[in-house]
Amino acid sequence: MSGWESVLTSGIVLGSLYALMASGLTLVWSTLGIFNFMHGVLMTVGAYLAWQFAVDRGFGLGLGLGIVLAVVCLVALGCLVEILLIRPFYGRKDLVQVTVMTTLAGLTFLENSTLLIWGPRLKQLPPVVEGQFRLLGLTMSNQEALIVLLSPLILLALWVFLRFTRVGNAIRAVGQNRESAQLMGLNVQALFMTTFALATVLAGLAGVLLGSIRFITPTLGSDPLTKALIVSIFGGLGSVGGSIGAAYVVGMLEATSVFAFGLYWTPSILFVVMIVVLIFRPNGLFGRQS
C-alpha cells in the first residue's frame, strides 16, 4: 500500500509542475503558432533569477521580493526573445520550422549564458515552508504540498485572465483568427509579445517551484521541457485546458511507471506511449483537427 501512496503523491506533484510548464507552451502555440523550444531554459533562468535575488550568496533580498523581481526580469526577457527571435519571421510560410531553429539557438544561447553567469555549481532555493504533513494516508513535504496547491491557483489565475479580461479575450481571438482580429483594430504584435511574456513568466514560476525541491543547474529545464512536450502531444497542443488535464495524466503515468517498471524504463515507456497515441490520434489525445 505504501508504494501506491508514494506513486499518488509524486504523480500529483509532477502533474502540477508539468501543468504549469505545458500551459505556457500551449498558450504560445495556440496564439503565435510556434513551438517554443526555449520554454525549458526560460524555466531554468527563472529559477536562477529568483535564487540570485533571494539568497544571501546572491543579493539577499529574501524569497518573496526575489520572486517578484525575477518575474519582472522574466517579462522583460520574454519580450526581448519575442522581438529578436520570433517577430522577424511572422510573415514567412515556413514560420514553424524557422522558429524551431531560432528558439533552439536561443536555448543554446541561454543555457550557456547561465553556465557562464552562475557556473556549474549546484544551487537550491530555500523552501517556503519546512516540514511535512499527512493527509488521507499520503505523506508529502510541505513544500511539495505548496506546489500542488500553488500550481492550480496560478493556472486558475491564467484561466480567469484569458476568459474574463479584455486583453485575455483579445489573446484568444488573435490565436483563433488573426485577420479578423486585425480588422477589429487589435494590435496583433503587442498581443503576441504579451502572450510570449506571459508564457515566459509561467515557465519561470515553474522553475522557481522546481528549484526548491531539486538542484538548479543550467540544464534544469531540459527534462521538464521534454515532459511538457509529451503533455502537449497528449493534450493536442491546441487548448490550454486540454494540456492541463493531460499534465496530470502524464504525471500519474510517470509515477506509476517508475513504481512498476523502474526509473530507467520510465522515459522509454512515456515516449512509446506518446508515439502510439500519435499513430492513432494524429492531433493528440484530446486534440481536434486543426
Residue 166 contacts another protein per CB under 8 A: yes
CB 50 within 8 A of CB 67: yes
CB 50 within 8 A of CB 285: no
Nearest to 87 by CA among 191, 192, 172: 192
CB 148 within 8 A of CB 9: no
How far is the CA of 248 from the CAs of 4, 164, 254, 282, in angstroms?
16, 25, 10, 21
Residue 161 contacts another protein per CB under 8 A: no
Residue 172 contacts another protein per CB under 8 A: yes
Please, what is the minimum distance in Å from the beta carbon of residue 284 to another protein? 8
C-alpha cell at 173: 481571438
Site for another protein in 40-79 (CB under 8 A): none
- By beta-carbon proximity to another protein, the closer residue of 142 and 222 is 222
Residue 279 contacts another protein per CB under 8 A: yes
Site for another protein in 251-270 (CB under 8 A): 264-265, 267-268
One of 60, 94, 133, 139 touching another protein (CB under 8 A): 94
CB-neighbour burial class of residue 59 (10 A; exposed 0-12, middle 13-18, buried 19+): middle
Please, what is the minimum distance in Å from the beta carbon of residue 218 to another protein? 9
In whole angstroms, what separates CA 137 from the centre of its chain?
30
R_g of the chain, CA atoms, integer Å: 19
- Note the residues at the interface with another protein (CB under 8 A): 29, 35, 84-85, 88-89, 92, 94, 96-98, 100-102, 104-109, 111-113, 115-116, 166, 169-170, 172-173, 176-177, 179-187, 222, 226, 229-230, 232-233, 237, 264-265, 267-268, 271-272, 274-275, 278-279, 282-283
